[in-house]
Amino acid sequence: MRVDSRLSWLAVAAGSALCAAVAAVGADARWLAALGGAIVQAGRIPASIPYAAAPSHDWANVPVLAELVFHWLEALGGDRGLIAAQAVAVAAALTLLLRDMRLAGASDASRAVVIVAIPFAAVSALLVVRAQLFSLPLFALTALLLRAEVRQPSRRIWLLVPLVALWSNLHGAVLAGLFIATAYLLLERRKRELWTALGVLVAAWGALFLTPALGRTGHYYWSVLHSEPAASGFGLWAPLSFHNPLDVLFVVFTVPLLAFALRAQPKRWELASLVILAVSTLHVGRNSVWLVFFAAVPGAVGLHVRRARPKRDLLLACAWLVPIILLVTALVRTPPRTVAGPALRAATVRLAAGRPILADPEDAEQLALDGRRVWIANPIDAFDRADQRLYLSWLRGRPAGEALVRRHGVVLVQLDSTAQRRLARDAGFREVARDSVAVLYARR
């Protein structure tokens, strides 16, 4: 029997094209390319951060595969290459979610409504290029596999093991995938096949350690989760907040989605997963995308939107102009600049004269990608906890950060940031140059 998916595919096309048309490269992206380039150049995996002066000895480097892929993407197309990869990842994730919704029995119109809502509920994850690019399709694929096993248990559940092994080499959100897989195996599969459930569970968690760091992979995840930004809720580790407009947008779209998901009467393992992901989102706002993705399928089932009438076919055909226009916009636009421009970075390098540069996270990542030496940059968890704390104090404009500023004569910082405003009032520094994104300061 043919399943109508015209509206659903239009929604997937629109969401993917929107990403390509408006996405920007954000923090936690360029450092991957910088490290990937260092690995290719040296022919080995460094045990420290080669572009940073702050001590980072004996760092357990786990996402090496992600670093190499980002290096190749950046080398091929710069920011355009990274944005194109993000659009492909979003398209793959939405397609997998569509497949999951169809198998769950959601109507075409319901699927389309939910898919259209997803980019607005998860703006910072879908429309900003970050390291979690890889996790978008992999999380959707994991949820699809688990729900397919609920409907018809089979040996395919063992695919979870290589999936985790691949994912662990790409991004830390593999832990989110493992949590929902654990909920399924213990609350659902165990009742039918105890030994299969336990075997897959042990093998999947063991696959987490199949990285270049091997046994030290656990130390890597521990360091990330207990870094200073994570402990203090800074930057990407900030908790969900109504002071953040994107978090408010997430709540506006996700609360109704969760209500529809509950109306679909999800199974115990799905309820447990929703609770785990909701708690994780409250603690760290950027985890909201996993809650949105997981709730999308039962949300579409519980929505019950009727199928569009045939007489609206002409309107549907015209609606395809939206993703086409967005795609054309993506091809002709210049990606938005989120870091200091080439001229300002060149002036910074000349002024530093070989000394390490103090810069905000995004500009530090870009300088590292340029082959320059900075004091500290992402991955922040690779450094001593005291240095992390000192750096964050400076970024927050706290007095404790003055000790860091006194060590450096050249500082590059984002325009209108807390650190920039504090430097502007510091009599010991003078402004040398600026552009539309950043300001360069030097000691008087």
DSSP, res 239: P
In a domain, 23, yes or no: yes
Q: What is the pLDDT of residues 143-194, one digit of tens each?
A: 999 999 999 999 999 999 999 999 999 999 999 999 999 999 999 999 999 9
Would 298 be classed as within a structural domain?
yes
Kindly report, residue by residue over 371-409, the tens digit of the pLDDT.
999 999 999 999 999 999 999 999 999 999 999 998 999
Question: What is the distance between the alpha carbons of residues 308 and 312, in angstroms, rounded to a whole number?
Answer: 7
pLDDT at 145: 98
Query: Within a domain: residue 204?
Result: no
The pLDDT value given to residue 316: 77
- Residue 303, domain extent: 6-155+238-326
Q: How confident is the model at residue 335 (pLDDT cuts 50, 70, 90)?
A: very high
Residues 25 and 131 in one domain: yes
pLDDT of residue 218 exceeding 50:
yes
Instruction: Answer yes or no: do 131 and 250 share one domain.
Output: yes
pLDDT for the residue 107: 92
Phi, psi of 440 (to 5 degrees): -105, 130
Which residue, 286, 293, 330, is CA-closest to 23? 330
Instruction: Specify if 288 maps to a domain.
Output: yes
How large is the average pLDDT for residues 251-259?
96
User: What pLDDT, on the 0 to 100 scale, is given for residue 1?
Assistant: 39
What tokens does 54 get?
A: 């702050």
Could you tell me the maximum CA-CA distance found in the chain, to the nearest angstrom?
76
Q: Which of 274, 299, 326 is the last residue of a domain?
A: 326
* Residue 108 CB-half CA count within 13 A: 13
pLDDT digits (tens, 9 = 90+) for 2-43: 557 889 999 999 999 999 999 999 989 999 999 999 999 999
Domain end residue (candidates: 326, 352, 376): 326
Would you say residue 343 has pLDDT above 90?
yes
Average pLDDT over the chain, rounded to an integer: 94
Q: Assess whether 278 and 388 both reside in one domain.
A: no
CA–CA dist 166, 169 (Å, integer): 6
Residues 141 and 138: their CA atoms lie apart, in Å, by 5
Q: Would 182 be classed as within a structural domain?
A: no
Tell whether 248 and 397 lie within a shared domain.
Answer: no
Per-residue model confidence (pLDDT) at position 4? 72
Do 316 and 400 reside in the same domain of the chain? no
Residue 334 located in a structural domain: no
> What confidence tens digit (pLDDT) does each residue in 268-325 have?
999 999 999 999 999 999 999 999 999 999 999 999 887 655 556 777 778 899 999 9
Q: How many domains does the chain have?
A: 2
- Percent of the chain exceeding pLDDT 90 equals 92
In this prediction, residue 259 carries a pLDDT of 96
Contact 401, 375 (CB under 8 A): no
Instruction: Tell me how far apart the alpha carbons of residues 133 and 338 are, in angstroms, rounded to a whole number.
Output: 18
Nearest 5 degrees, angle CA 365-CA 373-CA 409? 105
How do residues 38-62 score in pLDDT, each as one tens digit? Answer: 999 999 998 899 999 999 988 999 9
Domain endpoint, select from 272, 297, 326: 326
